[in-house]
Chain A
Amino acid sequence: MKISQIFFLSLKNLADRKIRSILTISGVCIGFGFIVYLLSLGYGVEKLTTDQISSPDTLSIFEISLSEDGESRAIDDKNIAEIGNINNVEHVEAAAILPASINVGPVKNDTIVKAYTRKFFELEELKIINGRLFIEDDSREVLITKGLQKILNISDNESFFPALDVKIMTNLALSPTNESDDLILIKSLKVVGIIEDDSPSVIVPFKTVRSSIDLVNYNVARVKVIDANNLTETRRQVEKLGFSTNYIGDTVSQIKSFFNIFRFILMGFGIIAMIVALLGMFNTLTVSLLERTQEIGVMKSLGAKRKTIWWLFISESLIIGFLGGVLGIIMGNIAGKATNTIFNFYALQNGGRAVDFFYTPIYLVLVMLILSILVGLITGLYPAKRAVKIKLLDAIKYE
């Protein structure tokens, strides 16, 4: 008997016992759906976090900052040159971050000024969502964050971007020649772009700031290495020189290991649901075997081979497993997307941000599909083996 015909026969049999088939398939579907839902949630939240690593370059850059206790070495031109001489260092770029207030016409607001070079901007991998970067490191152009744009109520239309005045509060550590807490005014800086960031700050070209303030020390620098695999070693060398460093890779691996445990726990719940579903499926197949003893006898009396009888049961459980799996993947996804949408709806209403914390990697779908087929095969093995063993005459001779 052709395999396609055996599958057809199994489908007929499942259709003949509709309610039971639907219940069984639903059970498997819920099991798979639950696993897909939970795992996708785990992957989604992880992705949300690790997505902050925007490019492969991210992992070859680390940051030098001033330690909280003030013990670390100052970041100045001489020290930067020293770091630049370390093997494996491709480039070092420094920047200064200073408290400030800004004026746009009559509106005044406290904010932070970030004195960045174009190069530093690039190394920080900031994302411009509207407009462009300043042209030169001494241009009288600035970028503002989305957070500040909101506060100042600035339109999204580039041609309406205003000019602003900044008043920078000097700092002895950075500019020892200035008076402490002096307010240095830099007038009419044209806003040319908006960057994706919810905290309010202004990015001013580095040299534009330095022409007004006598900057000697900086409070942050970024180091790009040639070979990211040796970054740890380079970073150690830099720390030996007395600097404190941060590396996003640290956070990423922490997040990864956290989510591995998280997924494991979610998986545990899913597996419990799955086991319940499998018991249901096994029960259905066993009952089906008992009910169909006579049919197996008929098939045998009409010349069906053992292989045919075996496939008859395996195909039935494969169909249940596969349908349950496919529906489960779909249901898990729909449920996840729905949760996400409802969450975002409330988040947006309460002034939050819409995020995708639900993500099903394609390989998860494939693994689940293969798993559903395996599950079908394995649950079918025992009933199939018993069906093959049924003796023709035992099955049909006596009622």
Chain B
Amino acid sequence: MINNKISDNVVLGRMDSHNLIIQVGNIDKDFEVATEYIKVLHNITLTILEGEFIIITGPSGCGKSTLLHTISGWEEPTFGNVLLFGEDIYAKDEEERAIFCNKKMTMVSQKSYWVNSLNVLENIALPYLISGYNKKEASKKAMQLLNLLELEELAYYKPADLSGGQQQRINLLRALINNPDIVLADEPTGNLDSLNTTFVMDLFQKINKDLKRTVIVVTHNPNFLDFATRVIIMKDGRIADTILNEPNFVSTKPVGDILDLKKHGLKIEKKDWLK
């Protein structure tokens, strides 16, 4: 295991201005609980290169989700800044930040949340509609995505009526519809059985390997650590350790569209649990 300071220097040593995608600089996060302030993140600095697959792990309550939320633009740090493609996202006002961040990245949560009055197809299409596409374009795209995972028959179900595994697939498709450069995921497999977990993690790997998207996954699951280019281990709001799986990682640019996964040989094995 390599000390956090050194590893960040290793990364910094290999970067040039083009491939720095996320720079977390000296972040502190305090939460006000009753009358006290609790420090949840201590002076975190983290530089992520374009095309990396980062896994963040660590004991419960160590601040993984909070860190992810500061990266996604959802939680303003008490101190420090977050640069996305070189732009300080917390220098922007809330609305601008949301627009900017949503153009570049997406978040997959552990539990899937839905707009309950909409069916699966409409829920997947929602981010596309929010981006200003019309209904026809959005439905078409959503259907193509369902087709990608061979889930067309679920299109007109209400998401809440589906199994956890099915819901998480739909959740992933919804997260991917805007073809993001960065995919963030907070314990995306936390509620899934091992079959579904493998499927989801494999999909993240494909998105990273074949489409060269930057992926940051928070997980407790130790089985997939070697998918990552770098594993960040947190403890008590600090980066305790970093595992460099690919010390010679070379930054890459995103290629193609999410729908291209099919070309890259995405295999779907229809299992009984899909029913």
Interface of A toward B, CB cutoff 8 Å = 1-2, 5, 8-9, 12-13, 15-17, 294-295, 297-306, 308, 392-393, 396-397, 399
Contact = CB atoms under 8 A, between A and B. Distances in A.
A300 B111 CA distance: 16
Contacts, number: 65
Given A303-B102, A306-B95, A393-B69, A1 B130 contact: yes
Interface string B38-76: 000000000000000000000000000100010000110
B199 interface: no
A192 B118 CA distance: 75
B74 A299 contact: no
A15 B130 contact: no
Contacts of B134: 2, 5
B115 A295 contact: yes
Contacts of B131: 303
Contacts of A17: 117
9 contacts: A1-B130, A1-B132, A2-B134, A5-B134, A12-B117, A294-B113, A295-B113, A300-B98, A393-B74
Interface in B70-127: 74-75, 95, 98-99, 101-102, 107, 109, 111, 113-118, 122, 126-127
B267 interface: no
B127 A302 contact: yes
B135 interface: yes
Given A305-B95, A305-B98, A393-B74, A299 B130 contact: yes
Given A8-B135, A294-B113, A393 B75 contact: yes
B254 to A, nearest CB: 19
B129 interface: yes
7 A-B pairs closest in CB distance: A303-B102, A16-B117, A12-B117, A302-B127, A13-B117, A298-B113, A1-B130
Given A12-B122, A396-B109, 20 more contacts: A1-B129, A1-B132, A2-B132, A5-B129, A5-B134, A12-B118, A295-B113, A295-B114, A298-B114, A299-B115, A302-B102, A302-B130, A303-B98, A304-B130, A305-B95, A305-B98, A305-B99, A393-B69, A393-B74, A397-B65
B130 A16 contact: no
A10 to B, nearest CB: 9
A122 to B, nearest CB: 66
